[in-house]
Amino acid sequence: MNYQQCYDRSIADPAAFWADQAQEVAWYRKPTQILTHNPDGTDQWFADGQLNSCYLALDRQIELGRGEQAALVYDSPVTGVQQSFTYHQLRDEVARLAGLLQALGVRKGDGVIIYMPMVPQAAMAMLACARIGAVHSVVFGGFAANELALRIDDARPALLLTASCGLEFDRVIPYKPLVDRALALAKHRPARVLVWQRPQCEAELLPDRDLDWRAALAHAQPVEPVAVAAGDPLYIMYTSGTTGKPKGIVRENGGNAVALGFAMRHIYGMQPGDVWWGISDVGWVVGHSLIVYGPLMNGCTSVFYEGKPIRTPDAGVYWRIVEQYRVNALFCAPTAMRAIRKEDPEGHLLRRYDLSSLRQLFLAGEKLDSSTHQWLEAMTGKPVHDHWWQTETGWPVTAPCVGLPGSGARAGSSNRAVPGYAVRVLDEEGRVLGPGEQGSIVIALPLPPGCSQTLWGDHSRYLEAYLNTWPGYYHTGDGGYLDDEGFVYIMGRTDDVINVSGHRLSTGEMEDLVAQHPAVAECAVIGIQDPIKGQVPLALVVLKDGCEVTEQALQAELVARVREQIGALACFNKVQEVKRLPKTRSGKILRAVLRKLANGEACSAPSTIDDATILVEIEAVLEAHRG
C-alpha cells in the first residue's frame, strides 16, 4: 500500500484500518471491539483487548529470537560508562525489579513516580511498572522540588523511584535533597522511596522511608507480566498547560502499542534488528515513545544517551555515537543541532566519523528552521525530516512516512498528515479554511489510537482543553496552514505555552511567580526568539509606583524565584521594566497581541493612538532582546 491509499483508508474507515494494524500486536486477548464512541466526544480503542506493554517490549522479542540482540545500549560520556543490555538481560533485570515493586506493595493501577536521570535503571523502572500494571509517571530531572511536589500530589504515587544524582557536563546535581524537599511540600506521601546510588554522589537514606535500590533488588524475585485492558493507563506524562497546574496526559496500553508499531515501521522506516537513537530524556514523551516503548516493542536496538550535544566532550559526540553503534536513524530536537552547528559550523568534527549506517534524521519538538535544515542535510548528506507531534498525541501527527511509498517530504513543512490523523485548519468561528489560509490547527475526531483521551483525575479539564472549543475536533493549540497538497506548516502556539529548547513551558505559571514579587504591579511573560533555544521567556514588568528596587536587583530576585520554583530548564533570565502593557478596554492584558509581536507577526491596527504608542514601545523592547 502506498501513502495515499493507506491514508485514505485510515480516514474512510478508521476501525477497519486500525483493526488491521492491531494484528501486528501480540495481544493476550485480541480485541473485537475496535472503536467505541463515547457520548462526550472521546473514543475508546480496542476496548476488550488485553495485553502487557512490558511483555511486548521484552519477553515477546525473546520469543521471536532476539534474546541475544542488544536491546539498550547505554552511552554516558558524563560518567565514561558504556554498557549494553541484551533483550534477555533487560528482561531479567526488569522482571526482578517488578518483583521488588510488588513486594513493596505496588499494585495494578497504582501510580509510581520516577524522578531519575538518563541511567538505564530509569527505563527498567518504567518497564517494571508496565509489567505489573502500575502507572508510571516520569518527572524530568531538571524540574525543581515544587514542580515535583505538584506531580506527586496529582499522581498520588504508591512509590517514588529516584537516583542519588544527575550529571550536567562536569557538574553533579544531587537529586535526593530535591526529592526530600518535594516530599516535604507535597500533601501526598508515597510509602517508600527507592534510591539508585551513583558513585558520583551517594545520597543519605532516611531509615523508615528510603531504600537502597541495589540492596533491595538483591532479595527480589522475578515476576511474570500481568494482563491489562487496552484502556488501562500505561503512564502519566505531565505537560505544561496554560495554567500553573500541569496536565497529566494519560497514555493507554492498547492504543500506544498499536500506534508505536505503526510509527516505527511506517514513519521511521525501522525494522527489527535496526539501531534507533531517540535523542531525548525519559522525562519527556519522546523518551517514552522513542527511547523505551517504540524501539523495544519493535525489536530495535535503542541507544540510551546520557550527555549533551556539545561539551561532552565536544560537538562531534552525536556522530561518534552514530559510528560506534551503527545507528540507522535518529530523532533529535532542532535546538541540539543548532548547538552543534554553532561549535562545528564547517563539520570538521563530523567528518571524523563514518555516518554510512545512518539512513535519515527526524527532527521535532519545535519548528525546524530552514537554515539548520539545510546545514544538517549538507553536512550529513542524509535526508533530514521535520515532523510534528505533541505529548498528548504520543506519536507523530504529521511526518514523512518513509516506510510508505509516495509519502513525500518537503523542506519548510512538517510534512503531511500521518494515516489516522484528519488534520484541518479552522478560523475563529470554527469554519474549515482552505489551502494557504492560516488558522488553528485541529484534528477531526476520532483521534487515532495512542492519543490521550483523558487527563489523570480530571476528565472535564480534558474536554475543556481539547474537545469543547470546536465540537468534533481536537484542538492542538498550534496555529498554521496547509498547502494545496496537504503539507502542513506550523507557525507556533496560539495559547500561552512556549517552547524552550524543545521543552514546553507555561508563561502563565512564570507570570504567577513574577507577579508575586512585592515590587511588581503587573506583568506579562512572553516567548521571544532565540538563535539556539528557539524561544526564551521574557518578563515585561510594570513596577508599583514609588518602588525603590533597581532593575538589576529585581531581575536577580525574579530569576532566582523562577529557578527555585520551576527549575533551570525554564531558562528564565530576561526581565524588562516597561511603563505599561497593552490592554483591552476591560483591562485584560492583550497576550495574543504580545505573542504576535514577539513572533514578528502582523497585528491588527490598534484603535487608539495611545494603544499604538504602547505597541511601539514594546516592539522596541522586544527588538533589543532578540538574540
481 residue type, one letter: Y
Choose one: 2-10, 385-393, 586-594, 602-610; the region binding ligand AMP (CB under 6 A): 385-393
Residues from 203 through 262 that contact ligand AMP (CB under 6 A): 239
What is the distance between the alpha carbons of residues 409 and 426, in angstroms, rounded to a whole number?
A: 24
Strand locations in 384-445 (E): 384-386, 415-416, 422-426, 439-444
Question: How is residue 524 written as a grid cell?
Answer: 506579562
Q: Are 35 and 45 in contact (CB under 8 A)?
A: yes
Kindly tell me which residue out of 27, 140, 388, 473 binds ligand AMP, with binding defined by CB under 6 A. 388
* Residue at grid coordinates 506493595: 105
Nearest by Cα to 369 from 332, 410, 334 = 334
d(CA 331, CA 499): 17
In whole angstroms, the minimum distance from the beta carbon of 572 to ligand AMP comes to 17
CB 11 within 8 A of CB 42: no
In the complex, the smallest distance separating the C-beta of residue 112 from ligand AMP, rounded to whole angstroms, is 22
Answer for which of 190, 246, 347, 365 binds ligand AMP (CB under 6 A) is 365
Which segment (32-40, 162-170, 382-390, 610-618) binds ligand AMP by CB under 6 A?
A: 382-390
Residue appearing with cell numbers 533589543: 624
Q: Which of residues 427-466 bind ligand AMP (CB under 6 A)?
A: none
Q: Are 528 and 622 in contact (CB under 8 A)?
A: yes
| Binding-residue pattern over the window 262 to 291 for ligand AMP, x denoting contact by CB under 6 A | -----------------------x------
Contact stretch for ligand AMP (CB under 6 A) within 6-14, 51-59, 213-221, 362-370: 362-370
Question: Could you say whether residue 493 binds ligand AMP (CB under 6 A)?
Answer: yes
| Helices vs. strands in the chain: H and E counts, helices first | 20, 30
> Phi/psi at 62 (nearest 5 deg)?
-70, -45
Distance, CA of 293 to CA of 55 (rounded, Å): 11
Site string for ligand AMP, 406-425 (x = CB under 6 A): --------x-----------
Query: For ligand AMP, which stretch binds (CB under 6 A), given 273-281, 381-389, 422-430, 517-525?
Result: 381-389
Angle at 539 between CA 532 and CA 605, to 5 degrees: 95
| Inter-helix orientation angle 145-155/176-185, to 10° | 60
The CB-of-607 to ligand AMP minimum distance in angstroms stands at 30
Is position 364 an interface residue for ligand AMP (rule: CB under 6 A)?
yes
User: How near is the Cβ of 150 to ligand AMP at its closest, in Å?
Assistant: 17
In whole angstroms, the minimum distance from the beta carbon of 585 to ligand AMP comes to 30
Distances (CA, A) of 336 to 173, 205, 310, 339, 532: 21, 36, 8, 5, 8
**Contact criterion met (CB below 8 Å) for 73 and 84:** yes
Q: Which residues contact 28 (CB under 8 A, 6 or more apart)?
A: 50, 51, 52, 227
Q: What whole-number distance in Å separates Cα of residue 582 and Cα of residue 569?
A: 29
Q: Look up cell 497538497; give the residue.
A: 485
Q: Which residues 102-131 are close enough to bind ligand AMP by CB under 6 A?
A: none
Taking CB under 6 A as the criterion, the residue among 478, 496, 511, 522 binding ligand AMP is 478
Element (H, E) at 289: none
Q: Where does this chain touch ligand AMP (CB under 6 A) — which range of 204-212, 270-278, 361-369, 570-578?
A: 361-369
Nearest residue (CB) to ligand AMP, 131 versus 595: 595
Binder to ligand AMP among 154, 274, 306, 366 (CB under 6 A)? 366
Task: Give the residue with the Cβ less far from ligand AMP, 87 or 456.
Answer: 456
CA 518 to chain centre: 34
Q: Which residues within the stretch 499-518 sit at the binding site for ligand AMP (CB under 6 A)?
A: 499, 504
**What track of x and - describes contact with ligand AMP for positions 305 through 344 (by CB under 6 A)?**
----------------------------------------
Q: Which CB sits closer to ligand AMP, 5 or 371?
A: 371
Closer of 21 and 414 to ligand AMP (Cβ): 414
Q: Which is nearer to ligand AMP, 77 or 246 (CB)?
A: 246
Q: How many chain residues touch ligand AMP (CB under 6 A)?
A: 19
Q: Which is nearer to ligand AMP, 76 or 476 (CB)?
A: 476
The interface region with ligand AMP, picked from 60-68, 296-304, 388-396, 593-601 by CB under 6 A, is 388-396
Using CA atoms, how far residue 545 sits from 126, 203, 518, 519, 580, in Å, is 52, 48, 11, 9, 12
Which residues are 162's β-sheet partners?
115, 195
In sign, the C-alpha dihedral spanning 293, 296, 300, 303 is positive
- Range in contact with ligand AMP (rule: CB under 6 A) among 273-281, 295-303, 358-366, 540-548: 358-366
Shortest CB 433 distance to ligand AMP, Å: 19
Report the residue number, 500 or 514, with the smaller CB distance to ligand AMP.
Answer: 500
533 touching ligand AMP, by CB under 6 A: no
Q: Are 172 and 253 in contact (CB under 8 A)?
A: no
Residue 574 CA, distance from chain mean position: 25
Q: Which residues bind ligand AMP (CB under 6 A)?
A: 239, 285, 364-367, 386-388, 390-391, 414, 476-478, 490, 493, 499, 504
